Amino acid sequence: MVSFTSLPAADPLSVGGLVDYIKALLEEDSQLRRVWVVGEVSSANSHSKGLFFNLTDLDNKATISCVAWRSQFAKMNDLPKVGEQVMVLGTVKVYPQRSSYQITVWQVLPTGDGLKALRLRQLKQRLEAEGLFDPQYKRPLPTLPRTIAVVSSPQAAAWGDIQRSLGHHHPGLHILFSPAIVQGDSAPDSIAAALDRVAQDGRAEVVILARGGGASEDLDCFDDERVVRAVADCPIPVVTGIGHQRDESLADLAADLCAHTPTAAALAAVPALADLEAAHQQRQARLQTVVTETLALAQDDLQTLGQRLQRLRIDQRLEQQQAKMSQLQGRLTYAVQGELRRATDRCQALRAHLMTLDPDTVIRRGYALVKDEAGHLVTQADHLSPGQVLQIQLAQGQVTAQVMATEPQR
């Protein structure tokens, strides 16, 4: 072991020497060799060698790393779970390669739900009761957006991943970047302000809220009520890509679509240009097939009709119809002529009958027509008186006579 008590204060130390000194101070401290620590499990990562987790003190905003080696699992009463308040027994170890320290845990005793988990559960229940997570309020993403907004940190790897993914997935897309702090106490207000900028700008058709993976504590801002309400109130559909397949944050639940990772969010926000081209080609091929099949069916129908026309011998049918029309024309002529003859005969009979009734004809047979002074026909002798002048119409000529006497009919 390196001793520093004999070194002058002004002598420089190597990095290794300083780390060794810190390691000696911590690991040889009797209180740190066997220490009980109470805290809330804020994150846990299972590994083939053991379980790596963080204990957090919410009141003092302090976090310490812990590891429980797999060989120790059988001796433990329980394994730490995220959100639980636990008391662990272990020793503080220093790792020179990373200049970090952590607790090597021998025993874990649960003490109930942690304050952080309780607060998160209460907030989730309250927001859920307000309908912020209701699926019926989720808006569909635009089919083919032309402008996408991204809310993330300009220094984050997520922003670079999204740019590369969109450039490969759908080149030529217009991307608006609204920078935000995505970790720490100032992150909630920064994220809410970034979403509001996108909404005020009005050009984006969908917005991606993204952050790469990290410790659970680094992602706490996405469970903040201010961020959740900003996501729910955003007038533009929101896609979240937060972390690496971790449990859903409250912001994920409020978003219109949760894609878990920044790359997945970029791929979900807009369809691949290659897929659109392939779909267009498929539709074009289907249309060409339908047109070809329809044309082939029409040609078959035309050929069938042509064959039917050939079998019908339209010229013979036309000759038959013409012969039939000639027959009908002859019958019609004969019928008209017969009717005309009968009408002529009737006219002659009527003319003969009228001739017998004609007064001139009667007169020509020797009869006379007698009229009084007024021109009225005289048919009865008792209607006349002596001395009355009469006009007598003969077959040839007219005679004026005077009544000498009348003799009534006996």
pLDDT at 240 over 50: yes
Section 205-218 average pLDDT: 84
Domain locations along the chain: 15-115, 130-271, 275-312, 361-402
Lowest average pLDDT, out of 49-58, 250-259, 339-348, 389-398, goes to 389-398
Sign for the CA dihedral angle at 59, 60, 61, 63 comes to negative
pLDDT at 409 over 50: yes
pLDDT category at 272 given cuts 50, 70, 90 is: low
Q: What is the pLDDT at residue 200? A: 94
The burial of 365, by beta-carbon neighbours within 10 Å (0-12 exposed, 13-18 middle, 19 or more buried), is given as exposed
Q: What is the pLDDT at residue 247? A: 62
Spatial separation of the C-alpha atoms in residues 174 and 144, rounded to whole Å = 12
Q: What is the pLDDT at residue 4? A: 44
Per DSSP, the three-state class of 171 is coil
Lowest average pLDDT, out of 142-156, 201-215, 216-230, 343-357, goes to 343-357
CATH code reported for the domain at 130-271: 3.40.50.261
Pick 270 or 234 by higher pLDDT: 234
Tens of pLDDT, residue by residue over 371-391, are 888 888 877 777 788 888 888
Q: What is the pLDDT at residue 7? A: 46
CA distances from 260 to 17, 70, 405 (A): 43, 29, 148
* Its pTM surpasses 0.75: no
Q: What is the pLDDT at residue 147? A: 92
Instruction: Tally DSSP H helices, then E strands, for the chain.
Output: 11, 13
Q: Angle at which helices 157-169 and 262-269 pack, to 10 degrees?
A: 30
* Terminal Cα-to-Cα distance of the chain (whole angstroms): 191
What is the architecture of the domain spanning 15-115?
Answer: Beta Barrel (2.40)
Q: What is the pLDDT at residue 402? A: 84
